[in-house]
Structure 1
């Protein structure tokens, strides 16, 4: 028997009736309790009416030890096995060979996001599914619809033509993105048409002129001024990409040439020209018709022999456009993961500028503006000019992130950035490179430039042996180890660094020679007076 006491004045008759019912239930042998020992029974009684508060309900759970316990309902074994089989089937689909072949637009890994989120997350406009629908980016949607309206009005096309073309490319486009895209078929197709046409209007406006496309001179978005620089930074981000074949199809429909290739890549390079961290412009425009407005300054093909993936990848390849020496093959890159290290000490290619100068190494600006064109000859390190502005950090971080995520590409940009990070350890290093004309920056101070490079590759996983600069770094380190080079450099810096020190050194040398001659003749005349 279970006795329940309440310190507050209650009707003891209620508890007496509960006790009687409990005893009658035990003695009557309720069917669902017959197979269970009384010591392990769980009895729940409720005497409170439904209109009363829950605290008037009584629940009594009795076990063998006199302690309360709560039972738990588990799913049946069949449902459990079915759920596991469904997960295995999903894993089989994810592990299919063609599920990774088209993947080229990635979500940033968490270890890279720990640096600066603003460098990876768009601030004005969202493109693609990763940031689609963000509240603070919705203001640009009305301008996207305006761009689509201008295209339809200018070409006299029906919107069904563009929707049908994107329907045909939907599966291929979804395969370019990492993870599951939680958008319906209609939503995904609408997003591709809207975002793709918006990008193409920006590209064509920079190449031909927005006025020629029908936009007002003071348009808040479709003009060279205003927020164009911020839009350029957003469009070059890895998580904000649209597959290049989508843009090619949309532009082909506008021009009446659905199968044309290569024009979007050239438009992208012209659009991203202000973000280039090198010297001469890569694409020149004369502002006339679209086809004649693009004149490539070199023989570089932005698509090459494998086709462009997206605008960021095309921009990356333009920075590495000229032929150079042999580089590690992709297969060797994939096999070298066991040798990769994330420790900054393991990524030391060469010493900093100050230490190399003490060893007699000189720095001169390179003859080209290509990142890879770094040479070391006769104690002189030739480095191409680098322009640093407020968008350089975001550009480098997204380029590095793409090389970290996409295995079917080299790590040349990462190698270059780590090489420059090794050279720059202090504002003095930046100041000397600026003096040599190698670095030009529009930041507040040289310490900001040094801090920028020191933070770019903090969490980057990198294999030194897979770098195209590893051989050059070995030559520089061998030159650095010879003590004679350091002694000669010290002599030059201390005694031949300026005309006055040279004159002082020559005067001291002449004085020493005269003193020696005087001493010699004094001794000689002493022993041989005649």
Structure 2
């Protein structure tokens, strides 16, 4: 009874102290509420804090809970949630910054500064591959055809789906490391996506090489037939954000062929499949197609693409574009003030002048007969450029190749260098028309102005090191020729007086008349000073 009475007395005493402090602090009396609504525990905690302020080193004189015997724990405030969240973020940053965490990264999200203004060139519109665009509503209609392709694979190979799932389960961690950022798919969803998308890609590759009817598809199949929709599939499958790791495709094809450790066949098939996107009018020859078909039949035939590696299909396609022959070695053609590593400067991306200005300096343009569209030569005032074919898929192709070169640290900037070089050459539709006249540019677009606009927009936000371009030495030679005054005078003379046959006849007639007049004058002066005897 005494303990209870003391507790009641202590409670009333604390309430009185609380009311007194409230009145003295000038707070409205209504804020304290009635005695019934006042929380005794909160009042007691407030009183303890007051005592700790005046006596920080002493413990409470009247212990309310007998179990709380540790004075230090009662005086220590709980850790702030803000501090806890900061520590969690720092721990996540430590894990992200761990050594080797970026080594396997190869499939990137296109940076926002590149995708602004033309998002459709980077985002698939017909079919999704990989986790970035997986499950999007507008792309779900292709899922039924993916399941059809998987069913066809299992039926044709007489295999169980568990074999594919177990194999992809082994590669799950390695495959996740190839993608940038956090992948929200669960383990089962991610493995299912790898099997479904991978088998769909392989069916397209093999069908393009040996024929879809050979794989068991109907002649009028809505997807697995060479129709108009195949062009949209080509364009989506070459996008950077729409890639699958090449080792995943290699493993899936190896399971189908009974060779789990095989490598290289997918790279060959992908080159054949993406051949319609080549920016040249020189397609694969029939012998090349036969070699690709022979490789599917397990024959030991020489294959020009046997040395191709790659991270994914976009990387393989890029390697095939640049694989034919050696390229010039980049040379630092700008004077450096120091030996420090230079940072790419957006202000120094002008390699050469445009076509119209180069023509005024006497530089001629000719088509170079080669399938290596990037292999440009300059000699004796003649700039020889290989033929470039531009169609409605060229823009998306170049943009994704440039994005990959911008993102992947172990990738050269050869495609970027070529596109920026052509962008410098082309400033107007007159430049395009002149290059088209000599067979350098062939396009399927509406007008020459659209081609000029395409090149002027390809590299708007792209920054690269001009010293690291394989065309740096060639650009230096062209600029040196352009800056020579005699070349400009000679070109102006030819442009003004030798632009048509009648002008040439008039020029030579004027020269003959000038010579005769000079001779007559000379003879008259000579006869005046030295008359004949």
**Alignment-derived partner of residue 211 in structure 1:** 213
Q: 1:323 aligns with which of 326, 333, 343?
A: 326
Q: 1:159 aligns with which of 147, 158, 161?
A: 161
Q: 1:440 aligns with which of 428, 439, 442?
A: 442
- Unpaired runs of 5+ residues, structure 1, are 1-25, 48-74, 330-334
Query: For the structure 1 residues 228 and 368, does the alpha-carbon distance in structure 2 shift closer, same or farther, using more than 3 Å as the test?
Result: same
**Alignment-derived partner of residue 355 in structure 1:** 357
Structure-2 separation of matches of 1:336 and 1:409: 21
**Alignment-derived partner of residue 185 in structure 2:** 183
Structure-2 separation of matches of 1:516 and 1:454: 54
1:88 aligns with 2:75: no
Structure-1 separation of matches of 2:131 and 2:228: 26
Structure 2 matches for 1:120-199, cutoff 5 A? 120-199=122-201
**Alignment-derived partner of residue 500 in structure 1:** 502
Structure-2 separation of matches of 1:197 and 1:456: 33
Structure 2 matches for 1:125-524, cutoff 5 A? 125-282=127-284, 284-286=288-290, 291=296, 299-301=304-306, 303=308, 307-321=309-323, 322-327=325-330, 338-343=342-347, 346-524=348-526
Structure-2 separation of matches of 1:390 and 1:409: 26
Question: Does the Cα contact within 8 Å between 2:330 and 2:467 map onto a contact in 1?
Answer: no
Structure-2 separation of matches of 1:297 and 1:492: 52
1:107 aligns with 2:112: no
Structure-1 separation of matches of 2:123 and 2:502: 56
Structure-2 separation of matches of 1:520 and 1:420: 55
Deviation at 1:207, TM superposition (A): 0.4
Deviation at 1:410, TM superposition (A): 0.6
Query: For the structure 1 residues 298 and 341, does the alpha-carbon distance in structure 2 shift closer, same or farther, using more than 3 Å as the test?
Result: farther
Query: Residue 473 of structure 2: SS of its match in structure 1?
Result: helix
Deviation at 1:371, TM superposition (A): 3.9
Structure-2 separation of matches of 1:465 and 1:423: 18
Q: CA RMSD in A?
A: 2.8
* TM-score, length of structure 1 as denominator length: 0.83
Query: Residue 376 of structure 1: SS of its match in structure 2?
Result: strand
Question: Does the Cα contact within 8 Å between 1:282 and 1:296 map onto a contact in 2?
Answer: no
Query: For the structure 1 residues 220 and 258, does the alpha-carbon distance in structure 2 shift closer, same or farther, using more than 3 Å as the test?
Result: same
Query: For the structure 1 residues 34 and 127, does the alpha-carbon distance in structure 2 shift closer, same or farther, using more than 3 Å as the test?
Result: farther
Structure-1 separation of matches of 2:281 and 2:298: 21
Question: Does the Cα contact within 8 Å between 1:124 and 1:234 map onto a contact in 2?
Answer: yes
Query: For the structure 1 residues 251 and 298, does the alpha-carbon distance in structure 2 shift closer, same or farther, using more than 3 Å as the test?
Result: closer
Structure-2 separation of matches of 1:377 and 1:294: 45
Query: For the structure 1 residues 245 and 213, does the alpha-carbon distance in structure 2 shift closer, same or farther, using more than 3 Å as the test?
Result: same
Deviation at 1:323, TM superposition (A): 1.8
Deviation at 1:529, TM superposition (A): 6.3
Question: Does the Cα contact within 8 Å between 1:235 and 1:241 map onto a contact in 2?
Answer: yes
Deviation sequence 1:85-104 (CA, Å, 0-9, x none): 22222111111122200000
Query: For the structure 1 residues 328 and 401, does the alpha-carbon distance in structure 2 shift closer, same or farther, using more than 3 Å as the test?
Result: farther
Q: How many residues align?
A: 469
Structure-1 separation of matches of 2:419 and 2:492: 30
